[in-house]
Structure 1
Amino acid sequence: MTDHQRPASPPGAVRRFFQRGSWPEARFVADVLRAETVGGGLLLLGAVIALGWANSPWADSYLALGRYVPWAAGEDLHLDLSLAEWAADGLLAIFFFVVGLELKREFVVGDLRDPRRAVVPVLAALGGMALPALVYVSVTAISGGGAYAGWAIPMATDIAFALAVLAVIGSHLPHGLRAFLLTLAVVDDLIAILVIALFYTDQFSLPPLLGALATIGVFGLLVQRRLTRWWVLLPLGVLSWVLMHASGVHATVAGVLLGFTVPVLTRPGERRRLAEHLAHRWRPVSAGFAVPVFAFFAAGVALRGTDLGGLIREPIVLAVAAGLIVGKTLGIFGATYLLSRFTRAELDENIGWPDLFGVALLAGIGFTVSLLIGELAFGAGGEQDRFVKAAVLAGSLTSAVLASLVLTLRNAKYRRLSEEESRDEDADGVPDVYQRPDPDDRRPGTAN
């Protein structure tokens, strides 16, 4: 059977959401999630250290470190950035480069290539971003806070943080739900970067932008021709970042565009897709260094001497937390439920609606991109920025706890499914479950 994939369902077969895919796809998803899980642990460590330091007697040194400008001479290129700004603008460009590679792969050979499979995570992602924004605006309007600039803060899902939570509770999500969560997060990141580019660009300069796009074009031409020497591509990537930053468009956009230029399909004689190869090389840098360092500089909200009761009642805090906890969950769950009702599709036989509800709660963990958008919306270091950080931490932590409760109740079933998905009795390197005929490969009403 080609690629160890089960036969496609014939016309008239029962349509099911979150079905198990092919073995190569399952193996790819497992590799990605494994790396992101480790990165999620480091992200949590960075956030905890930041919180502890920012609320210690040495809090001033934490603030001074974030404000330190290592290269004051870069003013002409708008590169006289503090360490905290370098983490947000520079290191996160690596994170978004990996996101661009993953997006390109999903569109070419992944779930987003097939409209029938893509419609579920895409609509779920749209629902999971539109409803949090609506909740934020509604709460802000009702409370009279007036801080509408932060409407996009609760839209993002932090896949590394979410997977770290799964690792902590020891959850064995079925492959269908793991692939859904990963694809959802990838679409989520795409929409988030579009929002950043379109709505959080204050000062715009066309010549540097054209220069950045031209540089990205040269980068793309080289990788398409398989000219992948690091000493050629890395300077081009840095130059495109510098020009994008100078244009006023957030510099992380350069990372996504660079990732989009990398080819996914192989040529005769190539054993590995270039996009997957570069993602494999750069994902440890992103998950193991770039994102944790950003979390360290972004998560240090000072709470000493703060009236926590008053903080919770702040309109921004209420709006962001409600958007993450309520908006994300209901947006993802509701969009998927309505899609199943309109299309008369069913969930995979091993997955129930409580499982999807738990994953939707898990998607309410919005950390990295939420903190980034908060800084873009209200500026770094101000009172509103402090409220945003507190709200993102509180909302993400609450979503993590609620998701853990729901998924832990289902964990015995997940463990049984995980054992079935990994059993390889014929020892051919491919789990047996990926070599069986699909039980739904029949028309409704026919005999088994």
Structure 2
Amino acid sequence: MSSPRSELARYLRTETVGGSLLLAAAAVALLWVNSPWGEGYLTLTETRLAIAPLHLDLTLADWVKDGLLAVFFFVAGLELKRELVVGELADPKRAALPIIAAVGGVVTPALIAYGIGFGVEGMDRGWAVPVATDIAFALAVLAMTGSRIPASARVFLLSLAVVDDLMAIVLIAILFTAGLAFTWLLVALACCAAWWFAQHRRWCSPLIYIPLALLCWYALHEAHIHPTLAGVACGLLTRVRSDEGEDEAPATRWEHKFQPISAGLCVPLFALFASGVPINGEVLGDLFTERLSLAIILGLLLGKTTGIFGISWLAIRTGLAKRPANLGYRDMFALSVLGAIGFTVSLLVAELALEDYPESAELAKAAVLVTSMAASLIGSALLLRRGRVHQARRDADALEPEQ
């Protein structure tokens, strides 16, 4: 008989459960911050928690965004590594598609936003606001509404979103970093090398990996690079093939352990602390009249969708990449719409790019939120429709007489 703890872990590994918790937390935050008790929410998120010996002085929102979310990126890195080595992306042409799609999904929104917002205060860097896809939210929507879509859809969206966010983090480092601390960057690279070496030598003790992960996170933070990158790096450096006589490879074993923590705690808390965007009547009135907000709205919704789908279609047609198994172009279009869920990374870029223009920053964040909600609803509707089509095909195949 399984223990209650193992049953809870199994329950949290169900993607629809994790997606439900994430979306519920986001709804709570949005309602809370726009309620009469909104000051309490802002006070909570802005409460500072310092670790003086390490010179870490972050708000609770930052600890969740930079700290707990690294666990989610670690799980995403493990899954991506498995797909690259033994899964859908083991075929180089299939692996190339999400990378190409991510490039289109970054360049096109940036060009649209820059073109529409040219000359507007803050848009010299604000064009970067719509370039990011929120991995956690996009996967949550896919889990909630795309359960009948082939599994290759999740692999494509995960790979696309990871590459997309890595590119966004690089942009943040280039545009908004006061100065890169190369010494700390070298420390982070040394941690990654040590992680790989320990995996190569088949060392299993958590006393090796936990300190390495924490030091890598801290080193990237001190190097002024988004520290969640440590999670992706450690995941991608983890062994996914099991040795003879080994029950599970480290990647599989750690994914089973950390995925429930990520889905049940880290991602919902991240949504709770990131989704509280105040929206008032004045902001809503400016959303569809100000060039700043229009640049972000069209950059995300139009730029992301056309950029991801358009360059994917072109890459497949020219033979540079292969279409994901069992997915049609209409399925890929629905997934491209989910790519327009910018949310947390876009909110972060808006804060950094428009920090000298507080009113513009609030308008930009409202535009990101509204557009991400629209992309969620449109993408969900398209996925549900495509799910019915795939289910009808499976039912028809099941009814065919055996030859």
SS in 2 for 1:80: strand
Out of 6, 19, 23, the position equivalent to 1:44 is 23
Q: Which residue of 1 aligns with 2:61?
A: 84
Q: Which residue of 2 aligns with 1:413?
A: 389
Contact kept, 8 Å, 2:109 with 2:130, in 1: the verdict is yes
Query: Aligned ranges for residues 417-432 of structure 1 at < 5 Å?
Result: 417-419=393-395
Letter in 1 for 2:40: S
**Structure 1 residue 57 corresponds to structure 2 residue 33:** no
The runs of 5 or more residues in structure 2 that have no matched partner are 1-9
**Structure 1 residue 234 corresponds to structure 2 residue 210:** yes
Deviations 1:217-252 (A, max 9, x none): 333322332323223322222122222212222222
Deviates further, 106-115 or 47-56: 106-115
**Structure 1 residue 188 corresponds to structure 2 residue 159:** no
Contact kept, 8 Å, 1:165 with 1:404, in 2: the verdict is yes
**Structure 1 residue 115 corresponds to structure 2 residue 92:** yes
Query: Aligned ranges for residues 42-441 of structure 1 at < 5 Å?
Result: 42-71=21-50, 73-74=51-52, 77-141=54-118, 144-169=120-145, 172-343=148-319, 352-379=328-355, 382-419=358-395
SS in 2 for 1:131: helix
CA distance in 2, matches of 1:134, 1:310: 22
Which structure has the larger Rg?
Answer: 1
Q: Which residue of 1 aligns with 2:5?
A: none
Deviates further, 317-326 or 187-196: 187-196
Give the alignment's Cα RMSD to 1 decimal. 3.3
Q: Which residue of 2 aligns with 1:5?
A: none
Contact kept, 8 Å, 2:20 with 2:140, in 1: the verdict is yes
CA distance in 1, matches of 2:145, 2:80: 28
TM-score, reference length from structure 1: 0.77
Deviation (angstroms), 1:131:
0.9
CA distance in 2, matches of 1:302, 1:94: 28
Q: Normalized per residue, which structure has more helix?
A: 2
Contact kept, 8 Å, 1:204 with 1:248, in 2: the verdict is yes
Deviation (angstroms), 1:81:
0.9
Deviation (angstroms), 1:49:
1.1
CA distance in 1, matches of 2:316, 2:168: 26
Deviation (angstroms), 1:198:
4.2
The runs of 5 or more residues in structure 1 that have no matched partner are 1-30, 426-431, 437-448
Deviation (angstroms), 1:111:
3.5
Deviates further, 294-303 or 365-374: 365-374
The change in CA–CA distance for 1:236 and 1:405 in structure 2 (over 3 A counts) is: closer
Deviations 1:262-287 (A, max 9, x none): 12233222232212322232222223
The change in CA–CA distance for 1:378 and 1:40 in structure 2 (over 3 A counts) is: farther
Contact kept, 8 Å, 1:366 with 1:392, in 2: the verdict is yes
Deviations 1:356-399 (A, max 9, x none): 32222122222233333334444599444423321221111111
Q: What fraction of aligned residue pairs are identical, expressed as a percent?
A: 45
CA distance in 2, matches of 1:180, 1:234: 30
Letter in 2 for 1:98: V
Letter in 2 for 1:40: G
Deviations 1:327-361 (A, max 9, x none): 11111221122234333999799754333322221
TM-score, reference length from structure 2: 0.84
CA distance in 1, matches of 2:58, 2:357: 14
Letter in 1 for 2:297: A
Letter in 2 for 1:293: L
